[in-house]
Chains A and B, each alone.
Chain A
Amino acid sequence: MEPSLSKENLSIITRITPNGEAIRLTAQGEIVWVEFDMPGEKANKLASPVLARLHEIIGELSKSAFKAVILISRKSSIFIAGADIEEIKGLKTPEDAQEACQLGQSIFNELENLQIPTIAAIHGACLGGGCEMVLACDYRIGTDDPATKIGLPEVNLGVIPGFGGTQRLPRLIGVQAALDIILAGKSVVGKKALSIGLIDKCVPKELLEQQALHLAQEVIKAGSKKRNKRFQSKGLGGMFLEGPLGRPIVFSQAKKMLMSKTMGHYPAPLKALEVVRKTYGSRLEKGLAIEAKGFGEVAATSVSKNLIGLFFMTEAVKKQTGVTGDVTPLDVKSCGVLGAGTMGGGIAQLAAEKEISVRLKDVNFEAIGKGLKAAIDIFGKSVKRKKMTKYEFKRKMSLISGGTNYAGFKNLDVVVEAIVEDINIKKKVLAELETQTREDAIIASNTSSLSINEMAKAMARPENFVGMHFFNPVNKMPLIEVIRGEKTSDRAAATIYALSKRMGKTPIVVKDGPGFLVNRLLMPYLNEACFTLGDGASIEFIDKTLLKFGMPMGPLHLIDEIGIDVAAKVAKILGHDLGERAAAAPLMSKVVDAKKFGKKNGTGFYFYDKSGKKLNVDHEIYKITELAKPKDPFTEEEIIFRLMFPMVNEAALCLEGGIVSTPEAVDLGMIMGTGFPPFRGGILRWADSIGVSKIVDELEMMAAKFGARFKPSAPIRSMAKTERKFYR
Chain B
Amino acid sequence: MSSQRDVVIVDGVRTPFVKAGSQFKDIHAADLGKDALKELIARTNLDVKLIDEVIIGNTGTPADAVNISRVIALNSGVPKEVSAYSVHRNCASALESIADGFDKIRSGTVDVVIAGGSESMSNMPLLFSKEFTDVFAKVMSAKSFPEKLQLLSQLKLAYLKPVISIVVGLTDPFCGLNMGQTAEILAREFEISREEQDKFALGSHRKAVAAMEKGLLAQEITPVFLPPKYENIIKDDIGPRKDQSMEMLAKLKPYFDKKYGSITVGNACPLTDGAAMVLMMSRERAQSIGYKPLGTMRSYAFAGIEPERMGLGPALATPLALKRAGLKLKDMGLVELNEAFAAQVIACEKAFSSKKFSKDRLNSEEATGDLNPEILNVNGGAVALGHPVGATGTRLVLTLLKEMNRRNVQFGLATLCIGGGQGGAIVVERES
Which residue numbers of A lie inside 8 Å of B, CB to CB?
A: 357, 359, 365-366, 368-370, 372-373, 376, 394-395, 398-399, 401, 403, 407-411
Q: Which residues of A contact B232 (CB under 8 A)?
A: 369
Main secondary structure of the interface of B (DSSP, over half): loop
Interface residues of B (CB under 8 A from A): 34-35, 38-39, 41-43, 45-47, 74-77, 222-223, 225, 227-233, 235
**Residues of B contacting A409 in the complex (Cβ-Cβ under 8 angstroms):** 45
Given A398-B75, A399-B77, A407-B42, A373 and B230 touching (CB < 8 A)?
A: yes
Q: Which 4 A-B pairs have the closest CB atoms?
A: A408-B42, A410-B45, A398-B75, A369-B230
Query: Are the CB atoms of B76 and A365 closer together than 8 Å?
Result: no
Taking CB as reference atom, which chain B residue is nearest A401? B38
Whether A372 contacts B42 by the Cβ 8 Å rule is no
B39 touches A395 (CB 8 A): no
28 cross-chain CB contacts under 8 A: A359-B42, A365-B223, A366-B233, A369-B229, A369-B230, A369-B232, A369-B233, A372-B225, A372-B230, A373-B229, A373-B230, A376-B230, A395-B75, A398-B34, A398-B38, A398-B76, A398-B77, A399-B77, A401-B35, A403-B39, A403-B42, A408-B41, A408-B42, A408-B43, A410-B45, A411-B41, A411-B42, A411-B46
Distance between B229 CB and nearest chain A CB, rounded to angstroms: 6
CA distance A425 to B36 in the complex (A): 31
The chain B residue with its CB closest to the CB of A366 is: B233
- Whether B39 lies near A401 (C-beta < 8 A) is yes
Q: Considering the chains assembled together, what is the distance between the CA atoms of A401 and B76 in angstroms?
A: 9
Cβ contacts under 8 Å, B233 to chain A: 365-366, 369
Contacting residues, chain B, for A365 (C-beta < 8 A): 223, 225, 233, 235
Least CB distance, A408 to chain B, in whole angstroms: 3
* A411 close to B230 (CB less than 8 A): no
Greatest chain B CB density within 10 A among A370, A372, A398 is at A398
Cα-based distance from A376 to B222 in the complex (angstroms)? 20
Known pairs A369-B225, A370-B231, A409-B45. 18 more at Cβ < 8 A? A365-B223, A365-B225, A366-B231, A369-B229, A369-B231, A370-B230, A376-B227, A395-B75, A398-B75, A398-B77, A399-B77, A401-B39, A407-B39, A407-B45, A408-B43, A410-B45, A411-B46, A411-B47
CB nearest neighbor in B for A369:
B230
Contacts of A373 in B (CB 8 A): 229-231
Q: In whole angstroms, what is the CA distance A401 to B230 when docked? A: 12
Of the candidates A376, A395, A401, which one forms a contact with B228 in the assembled complex, judged by CB atoms under 8 Å apart?
A: A376
In the bound assembly, the distance between CA atoms of A570 and B1 in angstroms comes to: 66
Q: What residues on A are CB-neighbors of B230 within 8 Å? A: 369-370, 372-373, 376
- In the bound assembly, the distance between CA atoms of A359 and B45 in angstroms comes to 12
The residues of B that contact A395 with a CB separation of less than 8 Å are 74-75
Chain A residue nearest in CB terms to B42: A408
- Bound Cα distance A401, B225 (Å): 10
State the Cβ distance, B27 to closest chain A Cβ, in Å. 12
Q: Knowing A370-B230, A373-B229, A373-B231 are in contact, say whether A401-B75 is a contact too (CB < 8 A).
A: no
Q: State whether A411 touches B45 (Cβ < 8 A).
A: yes
In the assembled complex, the CB of A267 is this many whole angstroms from the nearest CB of chain B, namely 46
* Minimum C-beta distance from B194 to chain A (A): 41
Consensus secondary structure, chain A interface? helix
Please report the C-alpha to C-alpha distance between residue A398 and residue B45 in the assembled complex, in whole angstroms. Answer: 17
Q: Which residues of A contact B47 (CB under 8 A)?
A: 411
A372 to B225, CA, bound (A): 9
A376 to B235, CA, bound (A): 21
- Taking CB as reference atom, which chain A residue is nearest B35? A401
On chain A, the residues within 8 Å of B35 by CB distance are 401
By a CB distance below 8 angstroms, the chain A residues around B225 are 365, 368-369, 372
Which residues of the other chain, A, contact B75 by a CB distance below 8 angstroms? 394-395, 398
A370 to B227, CA, bound (A): 11
Cα-based distance from A359 to B42 in the complex (angstroms): 9
- B24 to nearest A CB, angstroms? 15
State the Cβ distance, B241 to closest chain A Cβ, in Å: 24
Interface pair A408/B45, CB less than 8 Å apart = yes
C-alpha spacing A409/B39, complex, angstroms: 12
A409-B43 Cα distance, complex, nearest whole Å:
9
When chains A and B are docked, how far (Å) is the Cα of A50 from the Cα of B223?
62
Closest to A408 in B: B42
> Given the complex of chains A and B, what is the CA–CA distance between A291 and B235 in angstroms?
66
What are the residues of chain A within 8 A of B39 when measuring CB–CB?
Answer: 401, 403, 407
Tell me the bound Cα distance from A398 to B72 in angstroms. 10
A376 to B230, CA, bound (A): 9
The CA of A401 and the CA of B41, in the complex, are separated in Å by 11
Chain B residues whose CB sits within 8 angstroms of the CB of A372 once the complex forms: 225, 230
A409: nearest chain-B partner, CB-CB: B45
CA distance A366 to B223 in the complex (A): 11
User: Please, which residues of chain A bring their CB within 8 A of the CB of B235?
Assistant: 365
Complex contacts, A399 vs chain B, CB 8 Å: 77
CA distance A403 to B228 in the complex (A): 19
Task: List the A side residues contacting B34 at CB < 8 Å.
Answer: 398
Report the bound CA distance from A369 to B39 in whole Å.
Answer: 15
A679 CA to B77 CA, complexed, in Å: 44
Residues of B close to A368: CB separation below 8 A: 225
Q: How far, in Å, is B102 (CB) from chain A's closest CB?
A: 26
Nearest opposing residue in chain A for B226, CB measure: A369
When C-beta atoms are compared, the residue in chain B nearest to A398 turns out to be B75
> Shortest distance in angstroms between A372's beta carbon and chain B's nearest beta carbon?
5
Q: How far is the CB of A350 from chain B (nearest CB, A)?
A: 18
Best-surrounded residue of B42, B223, B227, B233 (most CB of chain A within 10 A): B42
Q: Which residue of A lies closest to B222 (CB)?
A: A403
Chain B min CB distance to A348 (Å): 12
Assembled-state Cα–Cα distance A36/B39 (Å): 51
Q: Bound state CA distance, A409 and B34, in angstroms?
A: 18
State the Cβ distance, B28 to closest chain A Cβ, in Å: 9
Q: Which residue of B lies closest to A371 (CB)?
A: B230
CA gap between A411 and B39 in the complex, in Å: 13
- Distance, CA A662 to CA B231, complexed state (A): 46
How long is the Cα–Cα vector from A394 to B228 in the complex, in angstroms? 13
Q: Which residue of A lies closest to B28 (CB)?
A: A394
A356 to chain B, nearest CB (A): 11
Determine how close the nearest CB of chain B comes to the CB of A440; give it in whole angstroms. Answer: 14
- How many whole Å from B112's CB to the nearest CB in chain A? 15
Taking the closest CB of chain A, its distance from the CB of B352, in whole angstroms, is: 39
CB distance from B66 to the nearest CB of A (A): 16
Kindly provide the distance from the CB of B48 to the nearest chain A CB, expressed in whole angstroms. 8
Q: Are B43 and A407 in contact (CB under 8 A)?
A: yes
Q: Which residue of A is nearest B13, CB measured?
A: A407
How far, in whole Å, are A409 and B229 apart by their CA atoms in the complex?
Answer: 26
B179 smallest CB distance to A (angstroms): 33
Q: Which residues of A contact B77 (CB under 8 A)?
A: 357, 398-399
| A407: chain B residues within 8 A (beta carbon) | 39, 42-43, 45
* Residues on A with beta carbons closer than 8 Å to the beta carbon of B76: 398
Contact (Cβ within 8 A) A401 B231: no
Bound state CA distance, A376 and B228, in angstroms? Answer: 8
Closest chain-B Cβ to A519's Cβ sits at a distance in Å of: 31
Docked CA distance A407–B229 (Å): 24
Bound Cα distance A407, B77 (Å): 15
Specify which chain A residues have a CB less than 8 angstroms from the CB of B229 in the assembled complex: 369, 373
Q: Which residues of B contact A357 (CB under 8 A)?
A: 77
Closest-CB distance, B238 to chain A (whole angstroms): 16
Q: How far is the CB of B33 from chain A (nearest CB, A)?
A: 11
Interchain nearest-CB distance for A367 vs B (Å): 10
Question: What is the bound-complex CA distance between A357 and B228, given in angstroms?
Answer: 21
Which of A366, A370, A411 counts the most chain B CB atoms within 10 A?
Answer: A411
Q: How far is the CA of A269 from the CA of B298 in the complex (A)?
A: 76
B34 to chain A, nearest CB (A): 6
